Structure 1
Amino acid sequence: MKNCPNCGHENLADARFCEECGQPFAIEVSEEPVLAEEEQQESEKKRFCPNCGESIPADADFCPNCGHPLKAAVRPATTVRKPLSKKQKIAIGTGAAIVVLLIGGFLFSRHYYSYPQQLSRLEQTFKTQDPEKIAEIVTSEDPNYQVSAANLKKFVSYYQESGHKADFADFLMDLKTNPSHLADFSLQTKGKYLGLFPRYQLVIQPVYLTVTTDQAGMALSLDDKKLATSKGSNYQTTWGPLTPGSYQVEGKLDNEKSVSKQALMRYNNPEFETNSHVNINLHKISFKVTSNIDGAKVLLNDKEVGMIEKGQAEIKDVVWHQGMEVQLTFKTASDQLKSDTYQIAASEFAADDYDEDSDASVIQLDFDHVQSTADVQNFLDSLYSDLSGYTSRYGAFGAAQKSELAEYFVNGLSNADEKDFEKFINDIRTSGKKSQVDAKAKVESVSMTGKDVYTVQYLIYYDTVYTDDTDDVSEVFRYKKATLRYDEDEAKFQIDNLGGAENFERVGGGA
């Protein structure tokens, strides 16, 4: 040990300066012993003077070797960052991948569970028309209604009917773009997907049907399933909740039935409120249907009950029920024609009041763009009036008259029947004895056989007038199958053909 001559502080034996006051000591030369391995390791832990590099005690304020102040000068040794290990690198990579996946999953989920995407998936499910799949996305808030594939089949069947396919296309469009218009469903949020995104679900609105009767003891059925028996002359019952769709309501009393089909669908159905109330009255009606097409079928609520013959059909003693409609159909070679419909009210055509000669007992149902028997008769009257004039030896039958005659025939002068008419006219005019032939036509029947094509049966009355004292000769012939075409643009008939010799017959005649 070495005491400082200035302050008396005890210093290490090899100190060159006092570690307390910095007083320099006389330099003593001595050999520095080699440190043992343990001492060397221990020395590595010591502090070193930043000025001279000499080892210094941990609590020294000045370097014992060079006197350099240590408190402000000494800095902690720089930490050398070790390279990452393979495990550390894998851990960091895995963490980064998880973060990327979480962000990507969130962005995907936000799109997948977005409002438009959920509506699109609902629309695709309804598009399948599969009751099982639809039942998975539909719920109900009516405690008495059960959502099931069996019940939803009624909804699907409604839109599978030919008359409602266009409505189904509208339904799908509104489901995807404007669900508030659906009427039979409401769109509500039911919980959340992944705890983040609102879950949208369709809530079905069931329907109810009120049935009233005017007689007691009437068996009442819905879709062939008996649900009640009327208990008085003013009986009323309500059935439901029911799935929106079409239902058949039947009332039966003794051997009489009243059957009606009710469309209990709100969407695109302005008659919903009316159809939700059925009044079953079992009374008989009789009426007559007139039309402009012979051979047209008379349908009563889509069931054939008669046929138009000679312009009319008589329907007698049928049981009336609410919603009863009359319509005519006629099938041509290329089309199925339908008339307007007529809905019969409860107060109309009572069987006890039927009078076949009264207009009050008649329903007239004409087909649009169809020519009547009267139209055909007017055409033939014009043709045979001109024919009578052409046969007269006192009238002209030159190029102008031939051109007028040709207008009555399809293809004009090249029509074979037109040539026969010309020959007939010329034979009369050149006979020498005949003055003229007076001709008149009478239509017996008209049938529409195609668009603007008519098959006509008619009689021709010929009265031949002679130039001398010979008595007039009257003859009657029949064209059994003449084909006429109506030109809509020109608004006129033309003869296509008169049916050939096999469809022409002599009916009678004499002096």
Structure 2
Amino acid sequence: MKYCDHCKMEYPDDQNFCENCGKNLVEKEEVKSDEIICPNCGKENQATAHFCEFCGTNLQEKRTQETKTEPSKFVLAYRAHKKLYNILLIAVVTLLIVGVGLYKYGEIYYSKESQIERYQDLLAENDPEKLADSVVSSDKNFKPTAQNLRVFTNYTKDNKDYSNYISKSLTNENDSSQDLYIKNDGKFFFLFDKYDLVLQPFYFDVDTNVENMELAINDKKEGSSDSEDYNWKVGPLAPGSYQLDGTFENNGNDEKIEQKVDQINRENLSDNGSRELSFAAKKVKFDVNSDISSGELLFNGQSIGTIKDGQLKNANFIWNEDGKLQIKQKMEDLELLSAPLDFDGNNYLEKDYDESQSTFQPESFHILPQTNATSGDFYINGKKVDTIGKENETYSLDVVKTQQPYKVQLKQTFGDSEVSSDEETVNPTDYVDTAAYVTLDVEEEIDEFDIEMLLDDLYFDVSDYTDEDFDFDDAEADALADYFSGGKENEEYVDFKDNFIVPSRKSDKKDYVICYLEEVEDIERTGENSYDVQYVVNYDTNYSDDTDNADQYFRYKKASFVVEDGDLRIKDLGGSDNFEEVSKSDYE
């Protein structure tokens, strides 16, 4: 830009002369940052001056005008489209907030723990169709359809312990020792780890030595064997419960080999995921001699025969090595199923049967209870199995060996009341031999000694009370009444006092009667605190004249005793129907 130094006028660069005075124009020099040109006189002033030192013009107004610059293109554009720009800014901020929120939600929803929890909820539903939509298979030949998974969901539905176990095991990533496990398989939205629920199927590897055997698994036919050395490869199958039936004809008779298999937890599988089963048929025949008095002999759950009085003759069936021989024992209210018996059919082949040698003796277990009770019932696992016999002093409960422990108890039931011993647990696997002693004592059982002491004291006092040389006043009457339930209101007390003691004391002929207990013959508990007692007492009546002594023995067949406030007392002596004289010779 050019400048007229005389007129102080500015012109464009392409003009050479001032239009006012005609002088030559000069190039306008840049003003130094520390000087300011007076707009009135054109003189230079210091940058800090407020007024021109030459003409007094206000220099700050000039400076304010100079600082006003043209707005930028962005500012101008923003001013022109302010509303649109504000909308775009809000949209960007909103998208940013939503994106952060979705990411945080995804972190929780797609976390490993949340995915496992959803799989656990899915398993709890036992729905094969829903499971088929979520599970993947470790075997490419297994298609996880509802039909293929139904045997698995049926098993988890009926077996809660197994269902809970596999559900908890999902927390162990890549645990291929389980029927179900989780593994990491990629990402969700390239951000979050993705975990698959993996099911591991298995195969049945079944062999037989029977030609033309028809094999069926869960009622589905798998085909017939075409030789005596045949093998079926069945699968892949989902874990669960399977019923295998091999049917064939033997000497014109229809025969069957069957086995129920619960294939879970990858148990009994070879390295290639197969379970080997033998359906090789062998005809066996033997006799049974057992301590188990009665029960059913079972092979693979089917009855082979009934054991009576510990004996079973001519048991015969088609045996295979993978089958289970067991005894189902019935003892009054209890039913026990033995663990598989140690039985090798190769030792009892029908062709080698000999009545004197082919005897199978299944091992039993003997529970030997000891108790202070004279009556009651023995219970195993809450079921009555035997009753105490009065003539027995020792007892043996002969039971099959089970895989579960026995819980043994003695109970005495009296109307609405019951007295029980502590429950004893007996685990057969804890014993080297086949017997276990258990103590089944009951509390507050009155024994023979307690009865004898009471009767000895009673008849000793009665002997004194019949003798006039001893007192029988109120104190003695009170002492006598204390032997009886109800005291002086008891009819037996009144009978002793009014019909035996007082007449003896007043008799001119009777001097005294020596009474003593001869024998307690029987005690039977009839209630929580009541007992029936049979005993014999001797009455030796002495006379003051020449009359011979009357030495007699009497049996009280059903005297009733009770425990009151911890003390034993007589309730009644049974009356005349339960009182009899017995021969003196029996006790001399």
- TM-score (norm: length of structure 1): 0.59
Amino acid at match of 1:139: V
Q: Output the CA distance in 1 between the equivalents of 2:580 and 2:70.
A: 140
In the TM superposition, residue 224 of structure 1 has moved relative to its aligned partner by 2.4
Give the match for residue 319 of structure 2.
320
Q: 1:199 aligns with which of 183, 194, 201?
A: 194
Please list, as runs of the form range in 1=range in 2, the aligned pairs for 1:56-205 lying within 5 A after superposition.
Answer: 75=67, 77=69, 79=71, 85-161=82-158, 164-177=159-172, 180=175, 182-205=177-200
**2:308 counterpart SS class:** coil
Give the match for residue 556 of structure 2.
423
**2:131 counterpart SS class:** helix
Superposed CA offset, 1:474-497 (max 9, x none) = xxxxxxxxxxxxxxxxxxxxxxxx
Q: How many residues align?
A: 379
Give the match for residue 419 of structure 2.
none
In the TM superposition, residue 171 of structure 1 has moved relative to its aligned partner by 0.9
Q: Output the CA distance in 2 between the equivalents of 1:154 and 1:299.
A: 26
**1:347 counterpart SS class:** helix
**1:120 counterpart SS class:** helix
**2:171 counterpart SS class:** helix
More strand by share: 2
Cα 1:87–1:195, aligned 2, differ >3 Å: closer, same or farther? same
In the TM superposition, residue 230 of structure 1 has moved relative to its aligned partner by 2.1
Q: 1:240 aligns with which of 216, 235, 250?
A: 235
Superposed CA offset, 1:28-56 (max 9, x none) = xxxxxxxxxxxxxxxxxxxxx97556799
Amino acid at match of 2:349: A
Give the match for residue 285 of structure 1.
284
Superposed CA offset, 1:48-80 (max 9, x none) = x97556799xxxxxx9x99x9x99x95552749
**1:363 counterpart SS class:** coil
Contact 2:299 2:323 in 1 (8 A): no
In the TM superposition, residue 195 of structure 1 has moved relative to its aligned partner by 2.5
Amino acid at match of 1:345: D
In the TM superposition, residue 320 of structure 1 has moved relative to its aligned partner by 1.6
In the TM superposition, residue 259 of structure 1 has moved relative to its aligned partner by 0.7
Contact 2:174 2:183 in 1 (8 A): no
Give the match for residue 457 of structure 1.
none
Give the match for residue 362 of structure 1.
361
Cα 1:296–1:112, aligned 2, differ >3 Å: closer, same or farther? same
Cα 1:108–1:368, aligned 2, differ >3 Å: closer, same or farther? farther
Q: Output the CA distance in 2 between the equivalents of 1:411 and 1:54.
A: 136
Amino acid at match of 1:380: E
Name the Cα RMSD after superposition.
4.9
In the TM superposition, residue 85 of structure 1 has moved relative to its aligned partner by 4.3
In the TM superposition, residue 193 of structure 1 has moved relative to its aligned partner by 1.2
Matched, 1:380 2:380: no
More displaced 10-residue stretch of structure 1: 11-20 or 217-226 = 11-20
Q: Output the CA distance in 2 between the equivalents of 1:369 and 1:179.
A: 51
Give the match for residue 414 of structure 1.
530
Counting aligned pairs with the same residue, the percent is 22
Q: Output the CA distance in 2 between the equivalents of 1:291 and 1:140.
A: 50
Contact 1:2 1:11 in 2 (8 A): yes
Q: Output the CA distance in 2 between the equivalents of 1:358 and 1:429.
A: 59
More displaced 10-residue stretch of structure 1: 135-144 or 121-130 = 135-144
Q: Output the CA distance in 1 between the equivalents of 2:243 and 2:134.
A: 28
Higher relative contact order (CA 8 A, sep 6+): 1
Contact 1:257 1:282 in 2 (8 A): no
Superposed CA offset, 1:289-317 (max 9, x none) = 56666564544333445544334455722
Contact 1:329 1:336 in 2 (8 A): yes
Give the match for residue 11 of structure 1.
18
Matched, 1:262 2:272: no
Amino acid at match of 2:223: A
Q: Output the CA distance in 1 between the equivalents of 2:186 and 2:118.
A: 17
**1:246 counterpart SS class:** strand
In the TM superposition, residue 98 of structure 1 has moved relative to its aligned partner by 1.2
Gaps of 5+ in 2: 9-15, 30-34, 43-51, 370-377, 381-385, 395-447, 449-514, 537-554, 560-577
In the TM superposition, residue 151 of structure 1 has moved relative to its aligned partner by 0.4
In the TM superposition, residue 170 of structure 1 has moved relative to its aligned partner by 1.0
In the TM superposition, residue 332 of structure 1 has moved relative to its aligned partner by 5.6
Contact 1:113 1:197 in 2 (8 A): yes
